[in-house]
Amino acid sequence: MASLWFDFVDLIFPRCCEACDKGLIGNEETICTSCRIGLPRIEQDSVFSASVKQKFVDVHEVAGTNSFLLFTKKGKVQKLLHALKYRGKSEIGVLLGFMFGQEMLSNGNLPEADLIVTVPLHKKKLKIRGYNQSDKLAEGFSNATNIPWSGKVLERTKFTETQTGKTRNERWENVKGVFQVNGNMEGLTVIIIDDILTTGATLEACMEVLKNAGCIQFHILTIASTQH
Binding site for Zn ion (CB under 5 A): 17, 19-20, 32, 35
Looking at beta carbons only, is 32 or 116 nearer to Zn ion? 32
**Would you say 93 and 83 are in contact if contact means Cβ atoms under 8 Å apart?**
no
* Shortest Cβ 14–Zn ion spacing (Å): 13
* Shortest Cβ 35–Zn ion spacing (Å): 3
Exposure string over 186-222, b if 16+ CB within 10 A, otherwise e? eebbbbbbbbbbbbbbbbbbbbebbbebebebbbbbb
**Would you say 216 and 186 are in contact if contact means Cβ atoms under 8 Å apart?**
no
* Shortest Cβ 20–Zn ion spacing (Å): 3
Looking at beta carbons only, is 17 or 137 nearer to Zn ion? 17
Looking at beta carbons only, is 20 or 196 nearer to Zn ion? 20
Looking at beta carbons only, is 31 or 190 nearer to Zn ion? 31
Looking at beta carbons only, is 19 or 185 nearer to Zn ion? 19
Nearest alpha carbon to residue 99 among 70, 72, 75, 68: 68
* Shortest Cβ 115–Zn ion spacing (Å): 33
Angstrom CA distances, 206 to 161, 179, 217, stand at: 17, 6, 13
The residues, any chain, with a CB within 8 Å of residue 169's CB and separated by 6 or more, are none
Looking at beta carbons only, is 20 or 216 nearer to Zn ion? 20
* Shortest Cβ 150–Zn ion spacing (Å): 32
* Shortest Cβ 30–Zn ion spacing (Å): 9
CA–CA separation, 169 and 179 (whole Å): 18
Angle ∠(193,198,200) on CA atoms, nearest 5: 60
The residues, any chain, with a CB within 8 Å of residue 73's CB and separated by 6 or more, are none
Q: Rounded to 5 degrees, what are φ and ψ at 21?
A: 70, 0
